[in-house]
């Protein structure tokens, strides 16, 4: 009995080793990260490299063809030399129409913003009306098909006679040029709504506003923004052509003034800016279309 007690006391006297907590840090494997970065770089290169290669080839061919002394068009190197002041300082303003190219572009964009916004509102409204009403389609669609074939500049003399001012005349030309693709694409989108959707709306007795917001708009958004993208491109084309005739500040007048002053290099620079701005306008409308589509789909 005593021996058992001794063994217990000895066991109790044995010190218990302390356990220390060790912090283990997780290091993600490096190879998957590198592989992901490599795939992303390959994706970006696949998007950027082809246009860069084509652009380089175009510039090289342009340089070769226009380097001759008797060439009627300047080579890229001559364009840079002649128009470097215009490129390096687009923000100068000496008063009147003697302004940097930024101010001409800004004035043209402001006109496009007003005219195109009016065309978008009226075009979507008329497109919904034509798409939903058979009588409206039979009465208005032939007129729209005829009017949309009239060139933009053909409207300018009529608008000048009616408004007697260059600014509203330019806005009218933008409006009348860009509204037709918006109307046509919106009406097509509305007509392509499945009849089952309309039947369900009639059964549950949705109001006209609920039908528009929950059925018509979500089903026709892709068509509407297709028309808007076409319309904004036509707006940009129309304002450049109209400004050549109405004068004042604007990228169209800048090109016409450069032609009258034999500044061919400045014309080429302006054309590059026009192309870039037109591309950005198209991308902007496409981006807004994606946002609206996702927002409508989420409802």
Whether residue 46 is contained in a domain is answered as no
pLDDT digits (tens, 9 = 90+) for 25-75: 555 555 677 878 888 888 888 888 888 899 999 999 989 988 888 888 899
Task: Give the Cα separation of 144 and 268 in Å (integer).
Answer: 36
Are 97 and 248 spatial neighbours (Cβ–Cβ below 8 Å)? yes
Average pLDDT over residues 161-169: 88
Share of the chain above pLDDT 90, in %: 37
Whether residue 67 is contained in a domain is answered as no
Whether residue 186 is contained in a domain is answered as yes
- pLDDT averaged over the chain? 84
Q: What is the pLDDT of residue 1?
A: 47
Q: What is the pLDDT of residue 299?
A: 57
**C-alpha neighbours within 13 Å on the C-beta side of residue 128:** 18
Q: What is the CATH number of the domain that holds 229?
A: 1.10.3720.10
**Listed ranges 117-121, 190-194, 291-295; the one with the highest mean pLDDT:** 117-121
Does 15 score more than 60 pLDDT? no
Q: What is the pLDDT of residue 12?
A: 46
**Listed ranges 64-73, 93-102, 205-214, 272-281; the one with the highest mean pLDDT:** 272-281
Whether residue 40 is contained in a domain is answered as no
Q: What is the pLDDT of residue 10?
A: 44
Average pLDDT over residues 204-220: 77
Q: What is the pLDDT of residue 25?
A: 55
Q: Calculate the dihedral angle through the C-alpha atoms of 190, 195, 196, 198, rounding to the nearest 10 degrees.
A: 60
Residue with the bigger pLDDT between 18 and 233: it is 233
Task: Give the Cα separation of 264 and 83 in Å (integer).
Answer: 9
Whether residue 294 is contained in a domain is answered as yes
| Phi, psi (deg, nearest 5) at residue 99 | -130, 160
Whether residue 68 is contained in a domain is answered as no
Q: How many of the other CB atoms lie within 10 Å of CB of 92?
A: 13
Residue with the bigger pLDDT between 33 and 108: it is 108
Average pLDDT over residues 152-160: 89
CA-wise closest residue to 251 among 152, 170, 151, 157: 170
pLDDT digits (tens, 9 = 90+) for 174-183: 999 999 999 9
Q: What is the pLDDT of residue 24?
A: 53
One DSSP character per residue, 145-209 reads HHHTTS-HHHHHHHHHHHH-SHHHHHHHHHHHHHHHHHHHHHHHHHHTS-HHHHHHHHHTT--HH
Domain span at residue 246 reads 102-192+220-298
Lowest mean pLDDT among 6-20, 25-39, 209-223: 6-20
Whether residue 21 is contained in a domain is answered as no
| DSSP-based three-state secondary structure for 278 | helix
Whether residue 1 is contained in a domain is answered as no
Average pLDDT over residues 81-94: 89
Three-state helix/strand/coil letters over 121-149: HHHHHHHHHHHHCHHHHHHHHHHHHHHCC
pLDDT digits (tens, 9 = 90+) for 235-288: 999 988 888 888 788 999 999 999 998 999 999 999 999 999 999 999 999 999
Structural domain count of the chain: 1
């Amino acid at each position: 009995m005593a021996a058992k007690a001794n063994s217990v006391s000895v066991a109790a006297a044995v010190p218990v080793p302390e356990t220390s907590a060790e912090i283990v840090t997780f290091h993600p494997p490096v190879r998957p990260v590198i592989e992901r970065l490599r795939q992303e770089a390959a994706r970006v290169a696949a998007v950027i490299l082809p246009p860069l290669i084509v652009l380089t080839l175009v510039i090289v061919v342009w340089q070769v063809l226009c380097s001759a002394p008797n060439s009627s068009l300047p080579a890229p190197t001559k364009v840079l030399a002649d128009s470097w002041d215009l490129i390096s300082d687009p923000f100068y303003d000496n008063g009147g129409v003697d302004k940097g190219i930024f101010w001409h572009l800004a004035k043209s964009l402001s006109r496009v913003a007003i005219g195109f916004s009016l065309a978008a509102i009226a075009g979507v409204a008329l497109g919904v009306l034509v798409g939903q009403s058979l009588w409206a389609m039979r009465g208005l669609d032939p007129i729209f098909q005829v009017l949309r074939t009239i060139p933009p500049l053909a409207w300018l003399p009529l608008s000048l006679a009616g408004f007697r001012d260059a600014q509203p005349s330019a806005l009218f030309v933008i409006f009348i040029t860009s509204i037709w693709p918006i109307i046509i694409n919106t009406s097509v989108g509305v007509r392509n709504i499945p009849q089952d959707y309309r039947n369900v709306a009639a059964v549950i007795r949705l109001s006209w506003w609920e039908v528009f917001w929950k059925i018509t708009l979500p089903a026709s958004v892709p068509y509407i923004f297709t028309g808007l993208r076409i319309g904004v491109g036509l707006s940009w084309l129309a304002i450049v052509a109209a400004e050549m005739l109405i004068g004042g500040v604007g990228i169209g007048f800048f090109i016409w003034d450069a032609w009258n002053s034999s500044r061919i290099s400045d014309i080429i620079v302006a054309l590059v800016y026009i192309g870039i701005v037109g591309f950005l306008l198209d991308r902007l409308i496409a981006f807004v279309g994606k946002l609206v589509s996702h927002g409508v789909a989420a409802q």
